[in-house]
Amino acid sequence: MPNRPMLMLSLFGSMALLGGCAQLSSQQQEPPPPVTAAQFESGIQRLESNLAARCENQSQLLSMQRMEQRTLTADVREVGSLLRGLRGDIAALDDNDDKQATQVVTECLAADDRLANKELLGRSEWIGLPNVGTYLQARVDSGADTSSLSAREITSFERDGEDWVRFKLGLDDDDSAVDTIRDSWVEAPVERRVRIEQATGEESRPVIKLLMTLGPIRETVEFTLTDRAHLDYPVLLGRHFLMDIAIIDVAEDFLHGRPDFPRGSESSDDADQTEDETP
Protein backbone atom coordinates (compact mmCIF):
# COMPACT_ATOMS: atom_id res chain seq x y z
CA MET A 1 0.00 0.00 0.00
CA PRO A 2 1.53 3.31 -1.00
CA ASN A 3 2.82 5.75 1.48
CA ARG A 4 -0.01 8.05 2.61
CA PRO A 5 1.99 11.25 2.95
CA MET A 6 3.25 10.88 -0.62
CA LEU A 7 -0.25 10.31 -1.90
CA MET A 8 -1.49 13.42 -0.20
CA LEU A 9 1.33 15.46 -1.69
CA SER A 10 0.47 14.22 -5.19
CA LEU A 11 -3.20 15.06 -4.70
CA PHE A 12 -2.43 18.59 -3.47
CA GLY A 13 -0.02 19.11 -6.42
CA SER A 14 -2.62 18.11 -8.95
CA MET A 15 -5.21 20.39 -7.43
CA ALA A 16 -2.75 23.28 -7.48
CA LEU A 17 -2.04 22.70 -11.16
CA LEU A 18 -5.73 22.60 -12.00
CA GLY A 19 -6.29 25.82 -10.14
CA GLY A 20 -3.48 27.61 -12.02
CA CYS A 21 -4.80 26.54 -15.42
CA ALA A 22 -8.28 27.72 -14.54
CA GLN A 23 -6.91 31.06 -13.46
CA LEU A 24 -4.93 31.47 -16.74
CA SER A 25 -7.96 30.55 -18.86
CA SER A 26 -10.10 33.07 -17.07
CA GLN A 27 -7.46 35.78 -17.55
CA GLN A 28 -7.22 35.15 -21.38
CA GLN A 29 -10.96 35.36 -21.90
CA GLU A 30 -11.31 38.76 -20.24
CA PRO A 31 -12.73 41.43 -22.68
CA PRO A 32 -10.59 44.52 -23.59
CA PRO A 33 -11.23 47.62 -21.63
CA PRO A 34 -13.80 50.03 -23.19
CA VAL A 35 -12.55 52.88 -25.52
CA THR A 36 -12.80 56.26 -24.05
CA ALA A 37 -14.20 59.30 -25.86
CA ALA A 38 -10.73 60.87 -26.11
CA GLN A 39 -9.28 57.73 -27.69
CA PHE A 40 -12.16 57.57 -30.20
CA GLU A 41 -11.73 61.24 -31.14
CA SER A 42 -7.98 60.79 -31.59
CA GLY A 43 -8.50 57.76 -33.88
CA ILE A 44 -11.04 59.66 -35.98
CA GLN A 45 -8.59 62.56 -36.39
CA ARG A 46 -5.79 60.22 -37.45
CA LEU A 47 -8.11 58.62 -40.05
CA GLU A 48 -9.16 62.02 -41.41
CA SER A 49 -5.50 63.10 -41.65
CA ASN A 50 -4.60 59.93 -43.59
CA LEU A 51 -7.55 60.40 -45.96
CA ALA A 52 -6.70 64.08 -46.49
CA ALA A 53 -3.04 63.21 -47.25
CA ARG A 54 -4.13 60.56 -49.75
CA CYS A 55 -6.55 62.97 -51.42
CA GLU A 56 -3.80 65.61 -51.63
CA ASN A 57 -1.43 63.11 -53.27
CA GLN A 58 -4.10 62.08 -55.76
CA SER A 59 -4.81 65.73 -56.58
CA GLN A 60 -1.10 66.41 -57.17
CA LEU A 61 -0.82 63.33 -59.40
CA LEU A 62 -3.85 64.43 -61.45
CA SER A 63 -2.39 67.92 -61.79
CA MET A 64 0.93 66.53 -63.01
CA GLN A 65 -0.84 64.26 -65.48
CA ARG A 66 -2.81 67.22 -66.85
CA MET A 67 0.43 69.22 -67.30
CA GLU A 68 2.11 66.29 -69.07
CA GLN A 69 -0.92 65.87 -71.29
CA ARG A 70 -0.87 69.57 -72.24
CA THR A 71 2.89 69.30 -72.96
CA LEU A 72 2.39 66.22 -75.13
CA THR A 73 -0.44 67.94 -77.00
CA ALA A 74 1.79 70.96 -77.69
CA ASP A 75 4.60 68.67 -78.85
CA VAL A 76 2.25 66.79 -81.18
CA ARG A 77 1.05 70.08 -82.67
CA GLU A 78 4.64 71.27 -83.16
CA VAL A 79 5.59 67.99 -84.83
CA GLY A 80 2.59 68.32 -87.11
CA SER A 81 3.63 71.86 -88.03
CA LEU A 82 7.18 70.67 -88.76
CA LEU A 83 5.86 67.83 -90.92
CA ARG A 84 3.73 70.24 -92.92
CA GLY A 85 6.78 72.48 -93.38
CA LEU A 86 8.88 69.51 -94.50
CA ARG A 87 6.24 68.49 -97.01
CA GLY A 88 6.32 72.01 -98.42
CA ASP A 89 10.13 71.98 -98.60
CA ILE A 90 10.12 68.57 -100.30
CA ALA A 91 7.59 69.77 -102.83
CA ALA A 92 9.69 72.87 -103.49
CA LEU A 93 12.82 70.73 -103.87
CA ASP A 94 11.01 68.42 -106.28
CA ASP A 95 9.93 71.40 -108.34
CA ASN A 96 13.48 72.81 -108.26
CA ASP A 97 14.96 69.42 -109.22
CA ASP A 98 12.52 69.15 -112.10
CA LYS A 99 13.51 72.62 -113.25
CA GLN A 100 17.23 71.84 -112.92
CA ALA A 101 16.81 68.53 -114.70
CA THR A 102 14.92 70.28 -117.47
CA GLN A 103 17.65 72.92 -117.66
CA VAL A 104 20.40 70.28 -117.79
CA VAL A 105 18.58 68.36 -120.51
CA THR A 106 18.05 71.59 -122.42
CA GLU A 107 21.71 72.52 -122.08
CA CYS A 108 22.78 69.04 -123.13
CA LEU A 109 20.52 69.19 -126.16
CA ALA A 110 21.88 72.63 -126.99
CA ALA A 111 25.44 71.33 -126.56
CA ASP A 112 24.61 68.38 -128.81
CA ASP A 113 23.28 70.80 -131.40
CA ARG A 114 26.48 72.86 -131.15
CA LEU A 115 28.67 69.78 -131.44
CA ALA A 116 26.61 68.12 -134.16
CA ASN A 117 28.28 70.14 -136.93
CA LYS A 118 31.81 69.91 -135.50
CA GLU A 119 34.36 67.27 -136.36
CA LEU A 120 36.28 65.47 -133.60
CA LEU A 121 40.06 65.62 -134.00
CA GLY A 122 42.91 64.03 -132.11
CA ARG A 123 45.96 65.93 -130.94
CA SER A 124 47.75 64.75 -134.10
CA GLU A 125 46.17 64.20 -137.51
CA TRP A 126 46.95 63.49 -141.15
CA ILE A 127 46.20 66.33 -143.53
CA GLY A 128 46.20 66.54 -147.30
CA LEU A 129 47.28 69.44 -149.51
CA PRO A 130 45.56 68.70 -152.86
CA ASN A 131 47.12 71.65 -154.73
CA VAL A 132 50.58 70.58 -153.56
CA GLY A 133 49.91 66.85 -154.01
CA THR A 134 51.02 65.42 -150.69
CA TYR A 135 49.93 64.38 -147.26
CA LEU A 136 51.62 65.55 -144.07
CA GLN A 137 51.33 65.02 -140.35
CA ALA A 138 49.96 67.95 -138.35
CA ARG A 139 49.89 68.86 -134.70
CA VAL A 140 46.50 70.22 -133.62
CA ASP A 141 47.03 73.05 -131.12
CA SER A 142 44.23 75.33 -129.95
CA GLY A 143 46.80 77.42 -128.10
CA ALA A 144 48.30 78.66 -131.36
CA ASP A 145 46.57 81.56 -133.06
CA THR A 146 47.32 80.74 -136.70
CA SER A 147 48.36 77.63 -138.58
CA SER A 148 51.87 77.24 -139.97
CA LEU A 149 53.54 75.16 -142.67
CA SER A 150 57.19 74.16 -142.70
CA ALA A 151 58.93 75.79 -145.67
CA ARG A 152 62.51 76.40 -146.84
CA GLU A 153 64.12 78.44 -149.56
CA ILE A 154 61.28 80.95 -149.35
CA THR A 155 61.64 83.39 -152.24
CA SER A 156 59.46 86.44 -152.85
CA PHE A 157 58.56 87.52 -156.40
CA GLU A 158 55.94 89.56 -158.19
CA ARG A 159 53.33 88.20 -160.57
CA ASP A 160 50.76 90.38 -162.31
CA GLY A 161 51.52 93.16 -159.85
CA GLU A 162 50.88 90.97 -156.82
CA ASP A 163 53.22 89.67 -154.14
CA TRP A 164 53.95 85.94 -154.48
CA VAL A 165 56.29 83.43 -152.84
CA ARG A 166 58.04 80.32 -154.08
CA PHE A 167 59.20 77.70 -151.58
CA LYS A 168 59.90 74.02 -150.93
CA LEU A 169 58.43 72.02 -148.11
CA GLY A 170 60.71 72.05 -145.08
CA LEU A 171 60.89 68.33 -144.35
CA ASP A 172 63.47 66.06 -142.80
CA ASP A 173 63.98 62.37 -143.51
CA ASP A 174 61.55 61.32 -140.76
CA ASP A 175 58.64 63.38 -142.09
CA SER A 176 56.07 61.44 -144.13
CA ALA A 177 55.23 62.88 -147.54
CA VAL A 178 54.87 61.88 -151.19
CA ASP A 179 58.46 61.39 -152.37
CA THR A 180 58.12 63.27 -155.67
CA ILE A 181 56.92 66.39 -153.83
CA ARG A 182 59.77 66.67 -151.32
CA ASP A 183 61.97 68.85 -153.53
CA SER A 184 59.24 70.38 -155.69
CA TRP A 185 58.62 74.13 -155.77
CA VAL A 186 55.33 75.44 -154.51
CA GLU A 187 54.03 78.86 -155.56
CA ALA A 188 51.25 80.86 -153.93
CA PRO A 189 50.14 84.51 -153.61
CA VAL A 190 50.94 86.25 -150.34
CA GLU A 191 47.80 87.14 -148.41
CA ARG A 192 49.59 89.22 -145.80
CA ARG A 193 52.71 89.26 -143.68
CA VAL A 194 53.12 88.87 -139.93
CA ARG A 195 55.90 90.20 -137.76
CA ILE A 196 57.42 87.82 -135.25
CA GLU A 197 59.59 89.11 -132.43
CA GLN A 198 62.49 86.84 -131.57
CA ALA A 199 65.66 87.12 -129.52
CA THR A 200 67.59 87.91 -132.71
CA GLY A 201 65.11 90.62 -133.70
CA GLU A 202 61.93 90.94 -135.70
CA GLU A 203 61.12 88.63 -138.58
CA SER A 204 58.52 89.07 -141.31
CA ARG A 205 56.79 85.88 -142.40
CA PRO A 206 54.48 85.48 -145.39
CA VAL A 207 50.97 84.07 -144.97
CA ILE A 208 49.46 82.05 -147.83
CA LYS A 209 46.23 80.17 -148.42
CA LEU A 210 46.16 76.50 -149.38
CA LEU A 211 43.32 74.04 -149.82
CA MET A 212 43.55 71.44 -147.05
CA THR A 213 41.67 68.22 -146.30
CA LEU A 214 41.38 66.47 -142.93
CA GLY A 215 39.00 63.54 -142.87
CA PRO A 216 35.67 64.95 -144.12
CA ILE A 217 36.89 68.55 -143.70
CA ARG A 218 37.85 70.42 -146.87
CA GLU A 219 38.79 74.03 -146.18
CA THR A 220 41.02 76.80 -147.49
CA VAL A 221 43.41 77.49 -144.62
CA GLU A 222 45.85 80.32 -143.99
CA PHE A 223 49.39 79.10 -143.29
CA THR A 224 52.32 81.12 -142.01
CA LEU A 225 55.46 79.92 -143.78
CA THR A 226 58.37 79.11 -141.47
CA ASP A 227 61.02 76.42 -141.20
CA ARG A 228 59.73 73.74 -138.80
CA ALA A 229 62.23 71.03 -139.77
CA HIS A 230 63.58 71.00 -136.21
CA LEU A 231 60.09 70.32 -134.80
CA ASP A 232 58.16 67.06 -134.64
CA TYR A 233 55.44 68.03 -137.11
CA PRO A 234 55.78 69.98 -140.37
CA VAL A 235 52.28 71.43 -139.94
CA LEU A 236 50.63 73.19 -137.03
CA LEU A 237 46.86 73.72 -137.03
CA GLY A 238 45.79 76.70 -134.88
CA ARG A 239 42.47 77.86 -133.50
CA HIS A 240 41.59 80.02 -136.53
CA PHE A 241 41.22 76.77 -138.46
CA LEU A 242 39.49 74.92 -135.60
CA MET A 243 36.97 77.66 -134.84
CA ASP A 244 33.35 76.57 -135.50
CA ILE A 245 34.30 73.40 -137.37
CA ALA A 246 36.23 71.09 -135.01
CA ILE A 247 36.88 70.09 -131.40
CA ILE A 248 39.92 68.28 -129.98
CA ASP A 249 40.16 65.07 -127.98
CA VAL A 250 43.68 65.32 -126.56
CA ALA A 251 43.64 61.65 -125.54
CA GLU A 252 43.46 60.50 -129.18
CA ASP A 253 45.80 60.50 -132.17
CA PHE A 254 45.04 60.19 -135.89
CA LEU A 255 41.28 59.75 -135.67
CA HIS A 256 41.13 60.28 -139.45
CA GLY A 257 42.97 58.26 -142.05
CA ARG A 258 45.77 59.51 -144.25
CA PRO A 259 44.58 60.86 -147.61
CA ASP A 260 45.81 59.28 -150.86
CA PHE A 261 47.38 61.16 -153.76
CA PRO A 262 47.91 59.61 -157.19
CA ARG A 263 50.93 61.80 -157.89
CA GLY A 264 54.17 60.05 -157.05
CA SER A 265 54.71 56.92 -155.02
CA GLU A 266 55.04 56.69 -151.29
CA SER A 267 58.17 55.23 -149.76
CA SER A 268 58.15 51.96 -147.86
CA ASP A 269 58.84 53.88 -144.62
CA ASP A 270 55.71 55.97 -145.24
CA ALA A 271 53.60 52.87 -145.78
CA ASP A 272 54.87 51.27 -142.56
CA GLN A 273 54.23 54.47 -140.62
CA THR A 274 50.72 54.70 -142.03
CA GLU A 275 49.90 51.18 -140.83
CA ASP A 276 51.26 51.96 -137.35
CA GLU A 277 49.71 55.37 -136.83
CA THR A 278 46.44 55.33 -138.73
CA PRO A 279 43.61 53.94 -136.61
Domain ranges of the chain: 84-116, 119-277
Query: Can you list the positions of beta strands (E) in 119-200?
Result: 119-122, 124-129, 134-140, 147-159, 162-169, 185-189, 192-198
In angstroms, the CA 43 to CA 157 distance is 143
Architecture of the domain defined by 119-277: Beta Barrel (2.40)
**Residues 132 and 263 sit within 8 Å (Cβ to Cβ):** no
In angstroms, the CA 79 to CA 237 distance is 67
Closest CA relative to residue 275, chosen from 176, 182, 132? 176
Contacts of 80 (CB under 8 A, 6+ apart): none
The pLDDT score that the predictor gives to residue 235 is 97
In angstroms, the CA 177 to CA 153 distance is 18
First to last CA, the chain: 153
The pLDDT score that the predictor gives to residue 267 is 39
Tell me the pTM: 0.55
Q: pLDDT 10s digit of each residue in the chain, 279 long?
A: 455 555 555 555 555 555 555 554 555 566 777 778 777 778 888 888 888 888 888 888 888 888 888 877 777 777 877 887 788 778 777 666 666 666 665 565 455 555 667 899 999 999 999 999 999 999 999 989 999 999 999 999 999 999 999 999 999 999 999 999 999 999 999 999 998 877 777 888 999 999 999 999 999 999 999 999 999 999 999 999 998 889 899 999 999 999 988 654 443 344 444 434 433
Opening angle at CA 249, ends 244 and 255, nearest 5: 95
CA dihedral 210, 237, 279, 173 (to 10 degrees): 80
In angstroms, the CA 61 to CA 55 distance is 10
The pLDDT score that the predictor gives to residue 53 is 82
